[in-house]
Structure 1
Amino acid sequence: MAFPEQEWKKAKKLCRLNEEDIRIAKQMGLNPKSLVKNIPSKDQQWKLPVKDWLWEMWEERQEKARKKQAKKQAAADTEDDSRK
């Protein structure tokens, strides 16, 4: 489901994000409502700002993808070694 650009602009302003942050959010499949919903209130001192939360989640996903790729490569290498 595509969200109107107006909603993304609103989320960008409310969450204090830049274009790169919005691109990352879209790439991860997040929607503007989830970004706005995760803005920490004054009594949620433990909660990260949306920008930090977004980048932390992005880094975790990238690390997971790197590990998966390395595991896949290692499996392919062992398969090649066994064929020799």
Structure 2
Amino acid sequence: MAYSDALWQEAKKKCRLNNEDIKIAKELGLNPKSLIKNIPNKNQQWKAPVSVWIREIQEERQRKSLLKQKRKESDKTEV
């Protein structure tokens, strides 16, 4: 489902994101509603801001992708 630009703009404003954060969120397959839902409130001091959360997800996926790629390369050399 494609989300309207209005929803993305609302998420950008409420979550205090920049254009780069929105671009990364879209690439990760996140939607504006999930971004808004993950805004930490005052009782959730442990929760990272949405922009940090997006970057952490991106780094984790890149790390996993790199590990998978290394595993494939090592499997090729063993055969």
Name the TM tier (shorter chain). Answer: over 0.9
**Deviation of residue 57 (structure 1)?**
1.1
Are positions 1:20 and 2:20 aligned together?
yes
Q: TM-score, normalised by structure 2?
A: 0.96
Structure 2 residue ranges without an equivalent (≥5): none
- Alignment length (residue pairs): 79
Separation in 1, partners of 2:54, 2:37: 13
What secondary structure sits across from 1:23 in the alignment? helix
**Deviation of residue 21 (structure 1)?**
0.7
What secondary structure sits across from 1:46 in the alignment? coil
Residues 12-68 of structure 1 show CA distances to partners (whole Å, capped at 9, x for unaligned) of 111111111111111111000000000000111111000011101110111000000
**What residue number does 2:68 align with?**
68
Percent of pairs with identical residues: 56
Specify the structure having the higher radius of gyration (Cα): 1
**What residue number does 1:82 align with?**
none
Structure 1 residue ranges without an equivalent (≥5): 80-84
